Amino acid sequence: MLATSTKKRLDDCRDILVGKLPDLKAQIEHRLQKKRHLEFINQPIDNRT
């Protein structure tokens, strides 16, 4: 059985070889949404809009 990190590396390499590179713009937008969500969750309940 492969270690989790080794399996992830192989999967990433396979994605590159078959042309499944992630769209950079979509990846940035996803990270920004995640950041906004985490900021919202970490606010005090009284300050949420």
Delimit the domains of the chain by residue range. 22-49
Listed range (10-14, 23-27, 37-41) with the worst mean pLDDT: 23-27
Instruction: Give buried/exposed letters for 24-35 (b at 16+ CB in 10 A, else e).
Output: eeeeeeeeeeee
| Of residues 31 and 18, more confidently modeled | 31
pLDDT of residue 27: 80
Averaged pLDDT of the chain: 81
- From CA 10, how far away is CA 7, in angstroms rounded? 5
Q: What is each CA distance from 8 to 24, 31, 33, 40, in whole angstroms? A: 19, 20, 24, 31
Q: How confident is the model at residue 22 (pLDDT cuts 50, 70, 90)?
A: low
**Mean pLDDT value of segment 27-33:** 86
**9 three-class SS:** helix
